[in-house]
Amino acid sequence: MMRGLYLAATGMVVQQLRQETISHNLANATTTGYKAAYATQRSFPEVLLLRLEGQYSQGAVGTFSPGVMVDAVEVDFSPGPLEETGRSTDLALVDRPGQPPSFFAVQVGGEIRYTRNGYFRVGPTGYLETTEGSPVLGQSGPLRVGEGRWWVDTQGRVWVEDREIDRLLLVNFEQPQALQRLENNLFMAPPEAVPQEAVGVEVKQGFLEKPNLDGVREIIDMLSALRAYEAGQKVIQVQDELLGKVVNELGTVR
């Protein structure tokens, strides 16, 4: 009977974490370059139950697993569809098929962060920056394009008045799942994740990459998680009623 409580409780915890992940996806359904996240599940390791009498084992009862758990929350780095905007400060990355995803590099508080969100602007000092004011990095440092005519070609080279001033710092990672998601649609590379120069990536100016999630699919998954959570609640209620009867009625002298 206690096993049923464990199984139902762990299942409810998993569904709650699924709901939180799906809610985060839906909250970013219009965020440029957002990559959807999904909670993967696995069973708890099985444990061997022994029948004890005093301090000595009297034989094995069998194995028991407390149920399921969230193994990890993984990010889906598949590309999202492109939307043409016509704004010179909007940039999108198109990777070769089979290649790991590429990222823009931005400077945040003296450290380098990575993003697929190419919704940039020209700041008051002429630097290309994110909407939060973080400079976009070229291979020589923060990119200053000024207030005049400038553009970016498909290879990531930045031109100002027909003069190449720098090239966008575009990187990728052999294991993108090692990246840690931060706020403002940024990723941080841990020490073991070494950035490499992205080769073959195409830069499209005047385009933005839309989120790679399916809103309808997310809503269906949310309803599924909610129903599974409610089913777990009912199981716990039934188990609680049975325990109450065992404690209060079983063995009662009539």
Whether residue 208 contacts residue 163, with contact meaning beta carbons closer than 8 Å, is answered with no
Task: Collect the ranges in the chain with pLDDT lower than 70.
Answer: 1-2, 48, 50-51, 53-59, 61-62, 64-66, 250-254
pLDDT digits (tens, 9 = 90+) for 132-163: 999 999 999 999 998 889 999 999 999 998 89
Q: What pLDDT, on the 0 to 100 scale, is given for residue 56?
A: 60
Residue 148 pLDDT: 84
How far, in whole angstroms, is CA 170 from its chain's centroid?
21
Q: Read off the tokens for 161.
A: 């008045």
Q: How is the chain split into domains, by residue range?
A: 2-76+213-248, 82-209
Give pLDDT, residue 54. 63
Instruction: Give the Cα separation of 115 and 106 in Å (integer).
Output: 8
Say what the pLDDT of residue 59 is. Answer: 67
The pLDDT value recorded for residue 69 is 76
Amino acid 253: pLDDT: 57
DSSP state string for the chain: -HHHHHHHHHHHHHHHHHHHHHHHHHHTTT-TT---EEEEEEEPPPEEEEEEETTEEEEEEEEE---EEEEEEEE--PPPPEEE---TTBEEEEPPTTSPPEEEEEEETTEEEEES--B-EE-TTSBEE-TTSPBBEETTEE-B--SS-EEE-TT-EEEETTEEEEEB-EEE-S-GGG-EE-STT-EE--TT---EE--S-EEEETEEEPP---HHHHHHHHHHHHHHHHHHHHHHHHHHHHHHHHHHTTT---
